[in-house]
Structure 1
Amino acid sequence: MKFWVFLLRIPMVRFFIRITTSKRLQIEGNSMSPTFSHGDHILVNKEQYHLTKPKRGDIVLFRHPVLGNKYAIKRVIGIPGELIRTTNFGSYNLVNSISKIENHDSAIYTELLIEEDEYFLIGDNTNNSLDSRRIGPVKLDLIWGKVWFKYWPINF
């Protein structure tokens, strides 16, 4: 019986640690729509990237270098060592990974190799996002934490 009680406590302790190392924030704007919308409330794990590095698909909170160092959230699309191709139409693809690009006959293509400790961040609402397609890769030291939970509004 004691063993089962011990096993049940492990997830509770992990959840408590995660809550105490998280910061609550409210989303402003719709650059991450439909994943997050204006007014959504989220939790950001501020200790996550002290232990590991961001992975493709992570949604991160970072200090935006163009917006007066305000914080923003975006999705990690490119990681160190990858080659990204962008167009003047704002579309992109990872040359050596997943791809998302529209065909534009008149597009001007730019290739960018992501350096060590840099990440290519994109908003889910690609038509309404000031992200790495325009500001370039974001340094790891500007990434503050990983978004791990949306607690309001509750969607079923």
Structure 2
Amino acid sequence: MTTQIRRFLMDLVTIFAFWLIFTTAGWQSFNIVSGSLEPTLEVGDRIMVRKFAYGYNRFSVPFNPKFLGDHRIFFTAPKRGDIALFRLPYMQNEDLIKRVIGLPGDTVQMKQGRLYINGKIVPRTKIRDVNYTDYQGMPQHATEYEETLPNGVKHRIYERTDEGEVDNTGLYVVPAGHYFMMGDNRDDSLDSRFLSHMGYVDQKYLVGRADITTFSLYDCDQGKAISCSAGIPLGRFFKVIH
């Protein structure tokens, strides 16, 4: 093996090692590919996920090496309202992203489209009506609300109807060590309300917390009130995620 080839291979190993350390211990880039968190996150947003927010286990590492085990070190519990990235083995190990709504021991319920946590209705304030074309080219109408969670976190949601498939549910009781996740696009999100699909999310599956959008390939033709200049969604660049 020549010296040049050896140096080239060493450079590749160094780059890979740096990437592995950065994406395991620091931040991971993630691309939003569904509308389940609209209007908070739009399809095409590229976000940075803070890996050290919830501590580390094998799900923090690319490729989920099983020899590392499920036990989480340096664990810090998610806060209500966090946008959390997690990976579920029973859902093809996909990277999934939702908002933390229910903490261990909480009760969660939907009644006529309204969210109840521990028996109390979560206040919401109407912002506006929204007519837009979604990322699949379908026309949509939604009402945008600002919702205030019990710990004071304010965030925006879309409601297409208050009589949707999971707008009236039984009482969910969040088990110890688990979290109840929901999308902000309430009528277009497969989340913990569907117990036979996602259900409650075990803390061992957490990957990190979404902090900021870096840039976006959002389609400016959707018709939302997003700042676009020459077809570039600058209003989605370097946006802190709430």
What TM-score results when the alignment is normalised by the length of structure 2?
Answer: 0.49
Q: Which structure ranks higher in relative contact order (CA pairs < 8 Å, sequence separation ≥ 6)?
A: 1
- Structure 2, gaps ≥5 residues long: 1-21, 56-74, 125-161, 217-233, 237-242
> 1:91 Cα shift?
5.6
Q: Percent identity?
A: 33
SS at 1:127's partner residue? coil
Give, in whole Å, the separation in 2 of the partners of 1:21 and 1:146. Answer: 11
RMSD of aligned alpha carbons? 2.9
Range with bigger deviation, 78-87 or 115-124: 78-87
Give, in whole Å, the separation in 2 of the partners of 1:90 and 1:63. Answer: 28
> 1:96 Cα shift?
4.3
What TM-score results when the alignment is normalised by the length of structure 1?
Answer: 0.74
> 1:67 Cα shift?
3.5
> 1:140 Cα shift?
0.4
Partner residue of 1:141? 204
Residue of structure 2 aligned with 1:94, choices 101, 112, 117:
117
Give, in whole Å, the separation in 2 of the partners of 1:78 and 1:56. Answer: 7
Give, in whole Å, the separation in 1 of the partners of 2:110 and 2:163. Answer: 12
Residue of structure 2 aligned with 1:31, choices 28, 36, 41:
36
> 1:127 Cα shift?
1.0
Indicate the structure (1 or 2) with the bigger Cα radius of gyration.
Answer: 2
- Conserved in 2, the CA contact under 8 Å of 1:82 and 1:96? no
- Structure 1, gaps ≥5 residues long: 1-16
> 1:63 Cα shift?
1.1
Counting matched residue pairs gives: 136
Runs of 4+ in 1 over 2 A off after TM superposition: 64-67, 89-92, 95-104
